[in-house]
Structure 1
Amino acid sequence: MIRIENISKQLSHRILFIETSAALNRGEKIGLVGPNGAGKTTVFRMIAGEEQPDEGQVSVEKGMTVGYFNQDVGEMSGRSAVAEVMDGAGPVSVVAAELRELESAMVDPDRLDEMDAIIERYGEVQARYEELDGYALEGRAREVLAGLSFSQEMMDGDVGKLSGGWKMRVALGRILLMRPDAMLLDEPSNHLDLESLIWLEQFLKGYEGALLMTSHDREFMNRIVNKIIEIDAGSLNTYSGNYEFYEQQRVLNEKQQQAQFERQQAMLAKEIKFIERFKARASHASQVQSRVKKLDKIDRVEPPKRRQTVSFEFAPAPRSGEDVVNLKGVHKAYGSRTIYDGLDFMIRRRERWCIMGVNGAGKSTLLKLATGATAPDQGTVALGASVKLGYFAQHAMDLLDGDSTILQWLEERFPKAGQAPLRALSGCFGFSGDDIDKRCRVLSGGEKARLVMAAMLFDPPNFLVLDEPTNHLDLDTKEMLIAALKQYEGTMLFVSHDRHFLAELSNRVLELTPEGVHRYDGGYTEYVARTGHEAPGLRS
């Protein structure tokens, strides 16, 4: 269906691909992986025809439809979310737009004199809409939006009033409704809550076309893909199986290549030793010449390319008292909407609570109450003795000084630390080399989030409160963070839509439901086993 043949590609002074090939066939669901900056988005853009390789070619089978979702959703306003999603469905969206215009015209008192012509045209357009199965399409558009957690009000409201994250969902919905022969999805799991993520997972499992996707959510990728294409040092390497199999296979391949390299090095050393020993003896001249020729013809085995892995170790956090935070009789409402009505909740030292709940259940509000970022309407919130709080929230990025470089900002926060440990810290969170001299104002949202988290963990609190800490983190950085937090001896309260993060780090679950608050001893894995669902409101 789609073939990438002997392509080479250079961006500025950076070589992305060197004479490499890959293919996407019918029915395949492929995960595209590689470190940040390896060229994943460039692969998508070349398949979509938005970029060309410097050498080689990317060919798409004639007549094949391709849907491409990326993070740049463009300007959206003036239409409903339903209309925007239907826009990807081709001719029917144009007819739908005219139908809505005529419906408005029919109730416009200023156009009464045109009413006969409007009604006649409305009949023609409505017939065409039915012919194109438009009413069924609108139903499917609403199903897709509901799966992505849109309320009916949001579906029919002006999409221009939505946040960037919700506009991303609209753009994703457009591609899903289109159901093209091949889907290219660049980070579709970003900006989705857990319920939407699980719905999208089921949708893509049932999708019969070819799929090429990237995702920073390993669990999401594991459950969908049956093949991995890895970008590594200019090559596209293909592995059959899901992401977990790819990880195991890559380690095995590296071990085999290392063993092969070492065997050949030992053999070469032996041959060179013989040549050096006997090259001056006439009696061994023919043997020496024979071995020299043999060495010239040998294909040299390269040692495996070591992928840079980063690790981060916490400095020991000071010990807190046994009671870390105590919420008693807490009431909290926003306008007429009650979020908590008499909540009692105690967190003790070394507990790791993950908060589960549908959109609007009050997950972030609970974190704000526990940290003192918001006050209860009634009741009390008390931090325990010797508690040192660290709170990571999405608005924490506002604390950055736009004029400072990354290094300057860290030095201002930790004037006694010295440059070496701060550079090492920056490298762990994806800022290596010259990146550390970037000014904070030019950082992307994801880079700002990583920098704020790095600063918080450099001087660790004994009570960590994290609101979606893995948003914008790539797979390697996420693994580094999980490994570091596993060693952390403090207390945690967090919200995340990443199931791998939830399973690895939680030892308690607080589930917020319309029926009330439910506590579960044991972490996320036990919660799934006991409730039979992966998120509140969903059934397995």
Structure 2
Amino acid sequence: MSGISHAEVDGLVRECVPGVDDAIVEYILGYLDETPTVEEEEDLAAFLGPILEDAGGTQDAVDELCARLTRLFPGRNTGGKPQLEKLKQPVQMIRQDAVSATAKLAVGATDMERVAGRKVASQVDSKKLEKAEAKIKAKMEKRERRVAYQASKLIDKKEDPTFIAVNPILDYTSTKGKSKDVRVENFDISFAGKRILTDANLTLAYGRRYGLIGRNGVGKCKSTLLRNISVREIAVPAHVSILHVEQEMTGTDTPAIQAVLSADAWREHLLEEERTLQAKLQELDETATAAEAGDAEKEQLEKERTRLSARLQTVFQKLEDIESDKAESRASAILAGLGFQSEAQQRATKTFSGGWRMRLALARALFCKPDLLLLDEPTNMLDIPAVAWLENYLQSWPSTLLVVSHDREFLDEVATDIMHQHSERLDYYRGNFSQFYKTRAERRKNQVREYEAQVQYRKHLQDFIDRWRYNANRAAQAQSKIKILEKLPTLELPEDEAVVTFRFQEPDPLSPPILQMSNVTFGYDDRVILRNVTFDMLMNSRISIVGPNGAGKTTLLKLLTGQLEPRSGDVRRNGRLRFAYFSQHHVDQLEMNMSPVSYMASRWPGKNEEEYRRHLGAFGISGMTGLQLISTLSGGQKSRVAFACLAIQKPHFLILDEPTNHLDMDSIDALTEALKSFEGGVVLVSHDERFLEAVSTEIWVCSGGVVSRFEGDSIKEYKKKVITEMA
């Protein structure tokens, strides 16, 4: 710290912040010792500002201190900056001995403090410096926590592990008069170094239901946008409550119905306050009755009683405003719609599987009614009856909804607007998915037409310029055309998204019988899951198995493939029959620390790397993606790797359990076409109505332990039947 002593800096700092801690002053002196020149005043202010303001200094005083220190230090203007120096002799970069000296330094072998000259002992007490740094770090963390709380109004419910990560305004009845629209302009979002959105605009009108769609990719682009909204990285107004449902809730001993009721933190707060006020009033009555109080004490007790009674009346009014007496029936109706029977609603949440806990998280979100509800693939863990109920429930959703889904039928029923995320931007379309599809196709057609017209116009101008540019009579006109050409806006041809294709190889021929089940019964202990199941499958079978969750659909698939053995009855399979089974939890079957190419080579050896990459390319895993670790791939890409693993086995039968859960719409279309052209048999379990309608020719209903063929002709008929039964 040349040109100024420690004592002078000490005096300036204490003049700026009287009573500042000695540790902070020493920390600043140490920083200035290690930073002999600072290029800009703003750099110094960025360091000193937060420290001194936390210590009690005003912003004006801190700014003045930084300005004075800037003038006292050398190197703060162009004259003080290091200048370029001419080398004394040429340096041959190719020579080994010309390499920078720092590149030759062996770690631990050189005293780095002596490289620039003589070693100078530090004047800073290291223990005091550590203490000051810890104190400053604690203050900064406290400030960040305070800012985060003020920004999102998070409710601390850590003592309740069933509480969703949710940030509603505590008293949501107090925000009724405020605008709940969301409009944020010109923001960027990145994930793991990958730019997801650039100069994007987010516009959410209160009361509209938005479907967020786009192609899957590394970084979970759509999910990342939802997560940024939920934690308010995007500046959503503080009075707009947000709730993001993206993962299953933690299981505890709390009954399911109570877990849903406790999600409404404001109602729980009012009920707790009511109990506290009632207890205090009862205590006052007992005190007034038991004691021989004087007039002054009685008057004081009466005032306190009046105050508590008035507050209790206010609490009663707020509970009435939010219809607290109807909360339990509303929570029960939501749970019933999502498949929880009366008995299941009283069970502890820890007794449910992951899929059912995801339904519980969804039920809690629907019960809370936030101003902005964010749902990430809500239908993935639902069966067709539950999807039908959810569609009907969301159609009357009173606030704003933003949902990520690849189920076109679901978006057609629920969405009033479509938000298309692509090319690092967001485009908005009015209407449901079908209307979006038509509008987008028409918009692209117009863009292509406009582009082609501009190309023709430019060509016409250029031809005129080339022909008459050097003609004395037409030179002026040519120059005019040149100016017109330069001022024309540049239009780009609308990009063509890469086409996704799936392809399953033709299996070897087999003669009947292929696969038969005869009077098959299966269960665990005393519980029978399936009874007397009988049906026959051929090489051209396209069978959809539908029914409520927990009815035994996955169990039936495992009986078909031999993963489970029946308690009674027979399962007959052709001796040369090869199955390929796609599980709901297919990701667990992949090796996360291997690349798709190396994983396939380890499981199905015999091909070279180029052949494996070509095979993966048939399922959309092209280029360097096939050489990345599987753990770095998105959910949709992992699903494509799983399908490539199925295809390499050249199966006669594809047994698919919820194959569309992590696929984007283009991939679902590609899978649909691949299954339609596949010459083997297909058995499907899925909630995607459009997918089942396109692939299957037979519908089997699994319900109540019985598997029976549906007499209708389509999934739509089955769905109508379910909705009628629910009504």
Q: Same fold (TM over 0.5)?
A: yes
Q: 1:40 aligns with which of 222, 241, 256?
A: 222
Q: 1:514 aligns with which of 695, 698, 704?
A: 704
Asked whether 1:2 is paired with 2:182, we answer yes
In structure 1, C-alpha distance between the alignment counterparts of 2:368 and 2:470, rounded to whole Å: 76
Please give the per-residue CA displacement for 1:175-232, whole angstroms capped at 9, x wherever unaligned.
1001223322222222222222111111101212221111121111111111111112
Superposition deviation, residue 444 in structure 1: 7.0
Q: 1:214 aligns with which of 404, 425, 429?
A: 404
Q: What are the residue-to-residue correspondences of 1:327-342 with 2, within 5 Å? A: 327-342=517-532
Q: 1:68 aligns with which of 221, 244, 256?
A: 244
Superposition deviation, residue 66 in structure 1: 3.1
Q: 1:21 aligns with which of 201, 218, 228?
A: 201
Corresponding residue number in structure 2 for 1:203 = 393
User: Is the 1:467–1:494 contact (alpha carbons within 8 Å) kept by the matching residues of 2?
Assistant: yes
Asked whether 1:50 is paired with 2:232, we answer yes
AA aligned to 1:87 is S
AA aligned to 1:66 is I
Please give the per-residue CA displacement for 1:378-407, whole angstroms capped at 9, x wherever unaligned.
221111364332222235544434443221
In structure 2, C-alpha distance between the alignment counterparts of 1:440 and 1:38, rounded to whole Å: 14
Q: 1:275 aligns with which of 440, 462, 465?
A: 465
Work out the number of aligned pairs and report it.
Answer: 507
Q: 1:244 aligns with which of 434, 438, 443?
A: 434
User: Is the 1:87–1:94 contact (alpha carbons within 8 Å) kept by the matching residues of 2?
Assistant: no
In structure 2, C-alpha distance between the alignment counterparts of 1:536 and 1:491, rounded to whole Å: 30
Corresponding residue number in structure 2 for 1:318 = 508
Specify whether residues 197 and 330 from structure 1 end up closer, same or farther in structure 2 by C-alpha distance, changes over 3 A only. same
User: Is the 1:27–1:209 contact (alpha carbons within 8 Å) kept by the matching residues of 2?
Assistant: yes
Specify whether residues 139 and 13 from structure 1 end up closer, same or farther in structure 2 by C-alpha distance, changes over 3 A only. same
Q: 1:93 aligns with which of 268, 273, 291?
A: 268
Corresponding residue number in structure 2 for 1:118 = none
In structure 1, C-alpha distance between the alignment counterparts of 2:595 and 2:522, rounded to whole Å: 40
Corresponding residue number in structure 1 for 2:371 = 181
AA aligned to 1:533 is K
Superposition deviation, residue 160 in structure 1: 3.2
Superposition deviation, residue 303 in structure 1: 0.2
AA aligned to 2:184 is I
Q: Secondary structure at the match of 1:511?
A: strand
Q: Secondary structure at the match of 1:323?
A: coil
Q: Secondary structure at the match of 2:382?
A: coil
User: Is the 2:530–2:706 contact (alpha carbons within 8 Å) kept by the matching residues of 1?
Assistant: no
Q: What are the residue-to-residue correspondences of 1:131-142 with 2, within 5 Å? A: 133-142=323-332
Moved more, 412-421 or 163-172: 412-421
Q: What are the residue-to-residue correspondences of 1:120-519 with 2, within 5 Å? A: 133-384=323-574, 386-394=576-584, 396-427=586-617, 429=619, 431-440=621-630, 448-514=638-704, 516-519=706-709
In structure 2, C-alpha distance between the alignment counterparts of 1:349 and 1:438, rounded to whole Å: 36
Query: Which ranges of structure 1 fall in alignment gaps of 5 or more residues?
Result: 53-57, 102-123
In structure 2, C-alpha distance between the alignment counterparts of 1:474 and 1:97, rounded to whole Å: 45
Please give the per-residue CA displacement for 1:499-520, whole angstroms capped at 9, x wherever unaligned.
1111111101112333944324
Q: 1:83 aligns with which of 233, 258, 268?
A: 258
In structure 1, C-alpha distance between the alignment counterparts of 2:706 and 2:220, rounded to whole Å: 46
In structure 1, C-alpha distance between the alignment counterparts of 2:519 and 2:721, rounded to whole Å: 29
AA aligned to 2:264 is A
User: Is the 1:22–1:238 contact (alpha carbons within 8 Å) kept by the matching residues of 2?
Assistant: no
Query: Which ranges of structure 2 fall in alignment gaps of 5 or more residues?
Result: 1-180, 277-311
Please give the per-residue CA displacement for 1:260-311, whole angstroms capped at 9, x wherever unaligned.
2122212222322332233232232112111111100111221002222211
User: Is the 1:227–1:238 contact (alpha carbons within 8 Å) kept by the matching residues of 2?
Assistant: yes
Q: Secondary structure at the match of 1:381?
A: strand
In structure 2, C-alpha distance between the alignment counterparts of 1:487 and 1:517, rounded to whole Å: 27
Superposition deviation, residue 29 in structure 1: 1.2
In structure 1, C-alpha distance between the alignment counterparts of 2:240 and 2:636, rounded to whole Å: 34
User: Is the 2:528–2:705 contact (alpha carbons within 8 Å) kept by the matching residues of 1?
Assistant: no
Q: Secondary structure at the match of 1:282?
A: coil
AA aligned to 2:400 is A
Specify whether residues 512 and 388 from structure 1 end up closer, same or farther in structure 2 by C-alpha distance, changes over 3 A only. same
Q: CA RMSD in A?
A: 3.1
User: Aligned residues: percent identity?
Assistant: 32
User: Is the 2:506–2:680 contact (alpha carbons within 8 Å) kept by the matching residues of 1?
Assistant: no
Corresponding residue number in structure 2 for 1:108 = none
Please give the per-residue CA displacement for 1:362-392, whole angstroms capped at 9, x wherever unaligned.
2122212221111111221111364332222
In structure 1, C-alpha distance between the alignment counterparts of 2:615 and 2:343, rounded to whole Å: 45
Q: Secondary structure at the match of 1:353?
A: strand
AA aligned to 2:198 is I
Using structure 1 for the length normalisation, give the TM-score: 0.84
Specify whether residues 405 and 156 from structure 1 end up closer, same or farther in structure 2 by C-alpha distance, changes over 3 A only. same
AA aligned to 1:25 is A
In structure 2, C-alpha distance between the alignment counterparts of 1:18 and 1:91, rounded to whole Å: 37
User: Is the 1:354–1:506 contact (alpha carbons within 8 Å) kept by the matching residues of 2?
Assistant: yes
Please give the per-residue CA displacement for 1:74-131, whole angstroms capped at 9, x wherever unaligned.
6453423223222221232246679999xxxxxxxxxxxxxxxxxxxxxx99x96976
Specify whether residues 74 and 511 from structure 1 end up closer, same or farther in structure 2 by C-alpha distance, changes over 3 A only. closer
Using structure 2 for the length normalisation, give the TM-score: 0.64
In structure 2, C-alpha distance between the alignment counterparts of 1:447 and 1:233, rounded to whole Å: 19
Corresponding residue number in structure 2 for 1:31 = 211
In structure 2, C-alpha distance between the alignment counterparts of 1:532 and 1:38, rounded to whole Å: 31
The answer to which structure has the higher strand fraction is 1
Structure whose CA Rg is larger: 2
Superposition deviation, residue 522 in structure 1: 7.0
In structure 2, C-alpha distance between the alignment counterparts of 1:385 and 1:521, rounded to whole Å: 32
Moved more, 349-358 or 127-136: 127-136
Q: Secondary structure at the match of 1:288?
A: helix
Specify whether residues 348 and 535 from structure 1 end up closer, same or farther in structure 2 by C-alpha distance, changes over 3 A only. farther
User: Is the 2:263–2:368 contact (alpha carbons within 8 Å) kept by the matching residues of 1?
Assistant: yes
Specify whether residues 400 and 387 from structure 1 end up closer, same or farther in structure 2 by C-alpha distance, changes over 3 A only. same
Please give the per-residue CA displacement for 1:447-486, whole angstroms capped at 9, x wherever unaligned.
5544222210234312111111122222222221112111
Specify whether residues 244 and 458 from structure 1 end up closer, same or farther in structure 2 by C-alpha distance, changes over 3 A only. farther
User: Is the 1:165–1:191 contact (alpha carbons within 8 Å) kept by the matching residues of 2?
Assistant: yes
Superposition deviation, residue 532 in structure 1: 6.7
User: Is the 1:466–1:493 contact (alpha carbons within 8 Å) kept by the matching residues of 2?
Assistant: yes
In structure 1, C-alpha distance between the alignment counterparts of 2:477 and 2:220, rounded to whole Å: 48
Specify whether residues 133 and 256 from structure 1 end up closer, same or farther in structure 2 by C-alpha distance, changes over 3 A only. closer
